Amino acid sequence: MCDDEEQIRAYDGTAVDLYRLRDERSSIEMTPAGKPAEQPFLSATVDRLGHFSFAPLQAGHYAILLHLPDTELVVEQVHLE
């Protein structure tokens, strides 16, 4: 197994949370603009190939939080149309 594969497998089972952000043009989402909700909208787990996915999502603004062993990685302002 090469080093890249070992590094990817190190994340197998890592929790990933999706937070819905409020759209400035809509009042559907109930969180402050640009701020994630307290509870995740959806959760997933990284697989042995380093992939994760969520169920089909509606258009909107999201943030993704990966719970890594020593830190948390936040991907802000994910916009789906």
Each residue's pLDDT tens digit, 58-73: 998 999 999 988 899 9
Mean pLDDT of the chain: 82
**Cα–Cα distance for residue pair 5/25, rounded to 1 Å:** 43
Which pTM was predicted? 0.74
Strand spans (E) along 1-81: 15-21, 42-45, 60-67, 72-80
Buried b (16+ CB within 10 A) or exposed e, 45-73: ebeeeeebeeeeeeebbbbbbbeeeeeee
What's the chain's Rg over C-alpha atoms?
14
CATH number, span 3-80: 2.60.40
Each residue's pLDDT tens digit, 23-49: 565 555 544 455 556 789 999 999 999
